[in-house]
Amino acid sequence: MKTIRRNTHRLAVLFVLPLGIGMSVAGNTAFADSRSLQPQQMLPQYRQECAACHQAYPPGMLPARSWNNIMSGLDRHFGTDASLDAATVVQIGQWLEGNAGTYKRVKEAPPGDRITRSAWFERKHRELDAVVWRHASVKSAANCAACHSRAEQGRFGEHELRFPAGLPDRYRQVFED
């Protein structure tokens, strides 16, 4: 009888242990996919140089390849010359690459390395009319802070949404759904 109990216990360990490990790995994967887009510590040079012209986008919004493309083409940065000295380019580039998105939704570089053309961005914003993007208080899809009250902290959840000032009320339902 003791032998049967020991063997039963061993069999239970053989079946339950891998299940627990599998759940732990799956749990970590889910956590990695939902991690913050913004690192806890913002690189001061990134904020100083990039946020001088636009929002300092969270590095997790693009894969490393996109950030590398952007940093290697600062002389033609989306129609503007945003050139920096070589040391600053290396420092910011390494920080962006180290904090780039690695989870499923940003695995592939979007067309033109534009956040607003990524599949996940288009899916999340598909209910918005082009009129919303062109409205004076929004200006473009790249102006996250127009609708996301905590965009500067890298928070883009539904609870941080706000209705842009001056936008006609007929668009309010999209923000409240």
pLDDT of residue 16: 37
- Note the pLDDT of residue 177: 67
Whose tokens are 């996301």? That residue is 148
Note the pLDDT tens digit of each residue in 34-53. 446 778 888 999 999 998 99
Contact (Cβ atoms closer than 8 angstroms) between residue 33 and residue 24: no
DSSP-derived 3-state class of residue 161: strand
pLDDT value of position 37: 75
Q: Which residue type is seen at 16? A: V
Which parts of the chain have pLDDT scores under 50?
2-35
Tell me the whole-structure pTM to 2 decimals.
0.74
Place of tokens 């380019």: 89
For residue 60, which amino acid is it?
G
Question: What whole-number distance in Å separates Cα of residue 90 and Cα of residue 159?
Answer: 36
Per-residue pLDDT at 171: 86
32 within 8 A of 100, measured Cβ to Cβ: no
In this predicted structure, what is the pLDDT of residue 36? 61
CA dihedral 35, 38, 40, 44 (to 10 degrees): 160
Q: How far apart are CA 82 and CA 96, in angstroms?
A: 16
CA atoms of 114 and 98, how far apart (whole Å):
19
Closest C-alpha among 5, 76, 88 to residue 48 = 88
Q: Read off the amino acid at residue 156.
A: F
Name the residue ranges covered by the structural domains of the chain: 36-113, 125-177
Taking the C-alpha atoms of residue 120 and residue 104, their distance in angstroms, rounded to an integer, is 10
Residue 56: the pLDDT is 92
